[in-house]
Amino acid sequence: MPDLLSVEGLCAGYGEARVLNDIGFALRPGESLALLGRNGVGKSTLIRSLIGLTRRQGGRLRFAGADITAAPPFRRARAGIGWVPQERAMFPSLSVEEHLTTVARRGPFDLARVYDIFPRLAERRANMGNQLSGGEQQMVAIARALMTNPRLLLLDEPMEGLAPIIVHDLAAVIRRLIAESGLSVIVVEQHARLALSMTARAMVLDRGRIVHDGPSTELLEDNDKLGRLVAVAA
């Protein structure tokens, strides 16, 4: 099967500052990838580079058979990249339902299906983006990305700052999405074990470079290696 996403020699950062160096990897349709690494190594920068919100300093990107190297973020999103930003990026002046309808595009995920996945959001549909708990905001961020009917879902620390019980529920939802929807998923997560347990493949970044790429089970079973590559929490 042809790759859904391929990244070649990507160098990117902010302004003149370079964060990512020579990043290369490919992702097949339906593949799930955990993106791991310590704080500040460039995980979010990689995610933002895929959606097109950093300064690209070199390299090429292909998505769904098209070259998207020069495409602006909204075109990449429309091509099928769904982004769940770190820290959720709510729109304070939009209601929950407006978060969903404003970005909606035709496809299997519509309001009814998304409310079915997150019943809590149906109850809070009229609340504004800044009147939600952290867990609800995260649900909105994921639901909002699903409403764009992506082929690739980018989840940047979806569990950050959430209570354990909510992490548990959300992890179940993400697991189900990966298993049942046929979406490709890249998930950034501080809790390496959680991310590894949800995904088939894992990639580790260190100082802007890929330092490991292999099956998730390999890292799950090799404690020492996992410890060396990332500071293991939980």
Partner 1 sequence: MNALPGLLFDGLAYGSLLFLVSIGLSITMGLMNFINLAHGAFAMIGGYASVWFSHRFGMPFLATLPLAFAVAGLAGLIAERVLFRHLYRASHLDQVLFTVGFVFSSIAAATYLFGSAQQSVSLPAALQGQVQVMGVDLGRYRLFLIGAVVVLSAGLGLLMTRTRFGAQVRAAVDNRDAAEGLGLNVGLVFSLCFGLGTGMAGLGGALGVEVLGLDPGFALKYMVYFLLVVVVGGAGTLSGPLVASMLLGVCDVAGKYYLPQAGAFIIYVLMIVLLLAFPKGLGLGRPSLSRLPLSILVRRRA
* Largest pairwise CA distance in the chain: 48
Q: Which does 42 bind (CB under 5 to 8 A by kind): ligand ATP, partner 1, Mg ion, none?
A: ligand ATP
| Whole-angstrom Cα Rg for the chain | 17
Pair of tokens at residue 3 = 């790759």
CB of 156 to Mg ion, least distance (A): 6
Residue 53 binding Mg ion, by CB under 5 A: no
Q: Which residues, 80 to 139, sit near ligand ATP by CB under 6 A?
A: 86
Q: Cβ closer to Mg ion: 97 or 160?
A: 160
Q: Please tell me the distance from the alpha carbon of residue 105 to that of residue 120, in angstroms, as a whole number.
A: 22
- Classified as helix, coil or strand, 181 is coil
Beginning with the edge strand found earlier in the chain, give each strand of the sheet holding 184-188 in spatial order: 81-84, 152-156, 184-188, 32-36, 201-206, 209-215
Nearest CA to 90 among 126, 132, 50?
Answer: 132
Cβ-based neighbour number of residue 41 at 10 Å: 21
Query: Using CB under 5 A, which of the segments 37-45, 99-107, 121-129, 168-176 binds Mg ion?
Result: 37-45
Q: Which does 72 bind (CB under 5 to 8 A by kind): partner 1, ligand ATP, Mg ion, none?
A: partner 1
Query: Using CB under 6 A, which of the segments 37-45, 71-79, 107-115, 123-131 binds ligand ATP?
Result: 37-45
Q: Which residues, 31 to 50, sit near partner 1 by CB under 8 A?
A: 48
Q: Which residues, 154 to 193, sit near partner 1 by CB under 8 A?
A: none
Q: Cβ closer to ligand ATP: 46 or 171?
A: 46
| Residue numbers at the binding site for Mg ion (CB under 5 A) | 43-44, 86
